[in-house]
Amino acid sequence: MSDENTRGNVPRQPAGAGRASSRTRGTRTGYGTGTGRGTTRRKEAEQPRALTRLALVDVAALVVMLGAVAVGFGPVWGSLGYVLPTAGGAVVGLLVAWVGAWRRFPAVTVTALAVLAYLLLGGALALPHTTIAGVVPTLDTLRELLLGSVEGWKQFVTTVPPMRSFPDLAVVPFLLMLLVALISGTISWRAKHAVWAVVPVIAGLVGVILLGTVDPALPVVQGLVIAIVALLWGAVRVMEARVGTHSISTESSREATRRLRWYRVRTGATILTVAAVAAGFTAPVLMPHGQRTVLRETIVPPFDIHEFTSPLVAFRHYAKDLREDELFTVSDLPENGRIRLATLDQYDGVVYDASGDGGDTGFYTRVGEEIATQAEGTPATFEITVSGYSGVWVPEIGSLTGVRWTGPDATAQTDGSYYNSTTHTAITTAGVKAGDTYTLDTLVTEEPGEDVLKKATIREADLPETEPGALPPGLPAKTVQFTGEETDPATKLFQIRDALQDYGVLSSGLDGQTPSRPGHSAERIDTLVEEEKMVGDDEQFAVAFALMARQAGIPARVVMGFYPDEKSEYEEGEPWKVLGSDVHAWVEVPFKEYGWVPIDAVPDEKPQIQPEPKSQTVPKPPVLQDPEPPEEPDKAKAGSVEDDDKDEAENDLFDWGLLGIILLAVGIPLLLILGPIVAILAYKARRRARRRSAEQMADRISGGWHEVVDVVTDLGTTVPRGATRRESAGVIAGAHEVPSTLTLAHRADATVFGRGEPTQADVEAFWTEVDELVGGLRSTVGTRRRVRAALSLRSVWARIGGRRGFLAALGGLGSRRTKESR
């Protein structure tokens, strides 16, 4: 091995060895260079790498790799607005790492510099809207930076892209790139093996993927760029390390080194470029086509939809109390369009509510002015002006791609906007009230006709199950009555719909209509389906339709909203003023070809049923006649055959044979299960009692020690056969960490082998210590292990059977007495 160090210098020879030590006196490092004519000393080896020209190579490699990482924020941000915070974070991280390497600061100082740079420069690079003149940080800037470093990650993955609608979340890419650049730069300029600097870069790439969307940026390009640059950079660093081991260099050697360096770089770059091109063409074919895993698709957002009351409970309020009131105005309405207020998919016997627990109930995630979606349809824009409506549920149309609030509470409504892209339900925690205005960007699809749906296939859906006790009691039988023996789901669905329309009477309890109670509890729906003429409005019929469909194995959910019916004065192409009378509820069912499709189950409004006319003739009061006296029964003679037969018949009412069969069927299994358990516990209790009541007092003392050994053996600790009490105590104390075992063993030896016979008081005191020790041993293990020890036969086998075999042990169990050695 060479005697040169890693800096390329030759260690100084000790005084008295070779040349005199005065030749090296006055040198700063204590290293000689062996200079001679035509040679130069490599001063670069004595200064930090951050100050050498080779540091520029490191910077170039890190900048390219960090740029490849930052590109991943493109899809989730939705614009080029991510460039400033990501690039700024990378530059700040590299600068702090360079200063730390230059001044050789410890890790604590470098961390403090990074925090200071984050607070001073984070406002200008990530939150310019909170600063003075876009540069000077304010108290709001510092507060947003500190909160964003802790809570920003959660908000980032629980907010629907694009993130450009939420400028405060720029803290996340800024901080991520700062950390990646800081760690990779520090490793590059200070670690012995600079190749480890690629690890934080790869970790940053994984982090960007997890924070992103299922739609990737340029995954193949990103991976190839990082791989190629990392390999080239690693090769250069290895080559520089090898060259750096030579402290003597001439002009010719330096020229040869430069030629060798560029030759290897060109050769490596060519090979890697060819490999990258080949990988670029083959990777899309070889890579799986499934969606990648991102956090926003797996983390449940911290939003509880159950805090808000289901709008369906206010259905009759709209249909009756606000019937003539104007709720809001829609600028336009597509053909056969519907305004959705809420999608309800969970029934508990009292109310149909929105769940948002995943699956086909989706999640409610925070949204901004733009909403990324994979839905398909015709883009459309609608402007809504609220006049009489109030609530947290936002009236919307189609599949939202954006919502822009323009009313007096626009800021609060934007911050509190949540959207469920699966159920197409929007909500704002700030609430909607009179005077608010907002614009909806949506995708509208044309619904298929009934003839098409009857031939289509209904797909399965993951909806919350309804507890059997929460269902209306008469609903399952009514479902069977409506569907008969039909097996096709689509046919059964429309059979239920047709039956509800044929036997139903539409009534909201208005004047001139058939009386109708509001609500959709299990009792109300049971009353509806049990009537010969089912009287109710959209609320009851939609709930009954959905529950019957679920009973028939068809997934269904209830939707409350508004649409113009045949009585509406809406004219197509004109703004629609939505009244309370326009409220409706319908059912949605998933079809493979068309998604969730609305289906109505609204019967006709039939005239009120008139009572039968009363007769004008006053009927005469009936004449009451005296009842005839009952005939006395014949008296049977005592002891007659008739009485005997009656007694035998009463005795035959109780089946004694059946009782015997039940007792045998239950008793035999219990005996097989509990019999061995009871036998083992009884044997151990009898063994303990026999030891404690032995004829000789010394045997009672030794029996107490045997009890300790048996308990430890059942707990799983093997005590060697033939070991003395003190040796056994050492094993037990070491296994269970109970030092009192040694004291008890010494006392047993002293009592058993002592001169005098122990007294009854000595025996009682010894067994008291045994009980305390056994309790302590059992307390050191878990409940399951204690139960297993109580039912274990290890101690029985060790003391009775030994090495004589299992049959001998079984035979020993039946013996009345077993001699135990003292």
User: Read out DSSP for 151-190?
Assistant: HHHHHHHTBPSPGGG-GGGGHHHHHHHHHHHHHHHHHHHH
- Would you state the pLDDT for residue 775? 84
Three-state SS string across 207-245, please?
HHHHHCCCCCCCHHHHHHHHHHHHHHHHHHHHHHHHHCC
Mean pLDDT of 15-44: 40
Q: Chain centroid to CA 363: how far?
A: 12
- Would you state the pLDDT for residue 271? 60
3-state helix, strand, coil in the chain (%, to 5): 50, 10, 35
Q: Which residues contact 744 (CB under 8 A, 6 or more apart)?
A: 705, 708, 729, 766, 769, 770, 773
Beta strand ranges found along 570-719 (DSSP E) = 576-579, 583-591, 595-599
Is 80 exceeded by the pLDDT of residue 431? yes
Task: Report d(CA 282, CA 260) in Å as an integer.
Answer: 33
Is 90 exceeded by the pLDDT of residue 325? yes
Is 70 exceeded by the pLDDT of residue 286? no
Q: Taking a C-beta distance cutoff of 8 angstroms, is the pair 542, 316 a contact?
A: no
Mean pLDDT of 501-523: 90
Least confident of 248-252, 409-413, 677-681, 776-780: 248-252
Task: For residue range 589-625, list pLDDT tens digits in order.
Answer: 999 989 999 999 988 876 544 444 444 444 444 444 4
Is 50 exceeded by the pLDDT of residue 14? no
47 in helix, strand or coil? coil
CA proximity to 425, closest of 364, 338, 359? 364
Range with top average pLDDT, 48-57, 229-238, 369-378, 409-418: 409-418
Query: Can you list the alpha helix ranges (DSSP code H) found in 291-357?
Result: 315-316
First to last CA, the chain: 70
Q: Taking a C-beta distance cutoff of 8 angstroms, is the pair 360, 463 a contact?
A: yes
pLDDT band at 294 (very low <50, low <70, confident <90, very high): low
Q: Taking a C-beta distance cutoff of 8 angstroms, is the pair 532, 563 a contact?
A: no
- Would you state the pLDDT for residue 268? 60
Higher pLDDT among residues 822 and 197, named by residue: 197
pLDDT band at 637 (very low <50, low <70, confident <90, very high): very low
Is 70 exceeded by the pLDDT of residue 207? yes
Least confident of 119-128, 289-298, 703-712: 289-298
Task: Report d(CA 232, CA 409) in Å as an integer.
Answer: 56
Task: Report d(CA 184, CA 195) in Å as an integer.
Answer: 10
Task: Report d(CA 203, CA 376) in Å as an integer.
Answer: 35
Task: For residue range 471-487, list pLDDT tens digits in order.
Answer: 999 999 999 999 988 99
Name beta bridge partners: 159: 366
Higher pLDDT among residues 727 and 460, named by residue: 460
Mean pLDDT of 571-578: 88
DSSP 308: S
Higher pLDDT among residues 627 and 227, named by residue: 227
* Pairing relationship of beta strands 557-562 and 583-591 according to DSSP bridges: antiparallel
Higher pLDDT among residues 579 and 255, named by residue: 579
Mean pLDDT of 143-153: 88
Q: Which residues contact 514 (CB under 8 A, 6 or more apart)?
A: 505, 507, 535, 606, 608, 609
* Pairing relationship of beta strands 504-506 and 534-536 according to DSSP bridges: parallel
Is 80 exceeded by the pLDDT of residue 364? yes
Task: Using a pLDDT cut of 90, give the percent of the chain over it.
Answer: 37
Is 90 exceeded by the pLDDT of residue 497? yes
Task: Using a pLDDT cut of 70, give the percent of the chain over it.
Answer: 75
| DSSP code per residue over 469-507 | GGS-TTHHHHHHHHHTT---HHHHHHHHHHHHHHHEEE-
pLDDT band at 774 (very low <50, low <70, confident <90, very high): confident
pLDDT band at 818 (very low <50, low <70, confident <90, very high): very low
Mean pLDDT of 43-59: 76
Mean pLDDT of 352-368: 87
- Would you state the pLDDT for residue 615? 42
Average pLDDT of the chain, as a whole number: 80
The burial of 631, by beta-carbon neighbours within 10 Å (0-12 exposed, 13-18 middle, 19 or more buried), is given as: exposed
- Would you state the pLDDT for residue 817? 43
pLDDT band at 65 (very low <50, low <70, confident <90, very high): very high
Higher pLDDT among residues 377 and 290, named by residue: 377
CA proximity to 582, closest of 293, 315, 277? 315
- Would you state the pLDDT for residue 16? 41
Is 70 exceeded by the pLDDT of residue 505? yes
Mean pLDDT of 322-339: 91
In this structure, what is the dihedral angle of CA atoms 558, 561, 564, 568, given to the nearest 10 degrees? 110
Is 90 exceeded by the pLDDT of residue 264? no
Task: Report d(CA 703, CA 699) in Å as an integer.
Answer: 6
Least confident of 281-285, 369-373, 447-451, 810-814: 810-814
- Would you state the pLDDT for residue 426? 94
Mean pLDDT of 46-62: 84
Task: Report d(CA 218, CA 466) in Å as an integer.
Answer: 45
Task: Report d(CA 126, CA 231) in Å as an integer.
Answer: 32
- Would you state the pLDDT for residue 616? 44
Task: For residue range 173-184, list pLDDT tens digits in order.
Answer: 999 999 999 999
pLDDT band at 54 (very low <50, low <70, confident <90, very high): confident
- Would you state the pLDDT for residue 255? 65
- Would you state the pLDDT for residue 284? 53
pTM score, two decimals?
0.53
- Would you state the pLDDT for residue 472? 94
- Would you state the pLDDT for residue 363? 85
Is 50 exceeded by the pLDDT of residue 15? no
Q: Which two tokens stand for residue 88?
A: 């700024």
CA proximity to 576, closest of 561, 559, 563, 586? 563
Is 90 exceeded by the pLDDT of residue 358? no
Is 70 exceeded by the pLDDT of residue 22? no
- Would you state the pLDDT for residue 307? 85
Is 70 exceeded by the pLDDT of residue 285? no
pLDDT band at 670 (very low <50, low <70, confident <90, very high): low
Is 50 exceeded by the pLDDT of residue 535? yes
Q: Which two tokens stand for residue 93?
A: 């991280």
Task: Report d(CA 713, CA 734) in Å as an integer.
Answer: 14
Task: For residue range 738-763, list pLDDT tens digits in order.
Answer: 778 888 888 888 888 887 788 888 88
Q: Which two tokens stand for residue 177?
A: 């790139």
In this structure, what is the dihedral angle of CA atoms 331, 336, 342, 344, given to the nearest 10 degrees? 180
Is 70 exceeded by the pLDDT of residue 816? no
Q: Taking a C-beta distance cutoff of 8 angstroms, is the pair 69, 83 a contact?
A: no
- Would you state the pLDDT for residue 260? 62
pLDDT band at 117 (very low <50, low <70, confident <90, very high): very high
Is 50 exceeded by the pLDDT of residue 31? no
Mean pLDDT of 722-748: 82
Is 90 exceeded by the pLDDT of residue 494? yes
Is 80 exceeded by the pLDDT of residue 23? no
Is 60 exceeded by the pLDDT of residue 462? yes
pLDDT band at 70 (very low <50, low <70, confident <90, very high): very high
Name beta bridge partners: 41: 248
Is 90 exceeded by the pLDDT of residue 241? no
- Would you state the pLDDT for residue 6? 36
- Would you state the pLDDT for residue 10? 40
Higher pLDDT among residues 648 and 236, named by residue: 236
- Would you state the pLDDT for residue 752? 83
Mean pLDDT of 94-101: 94
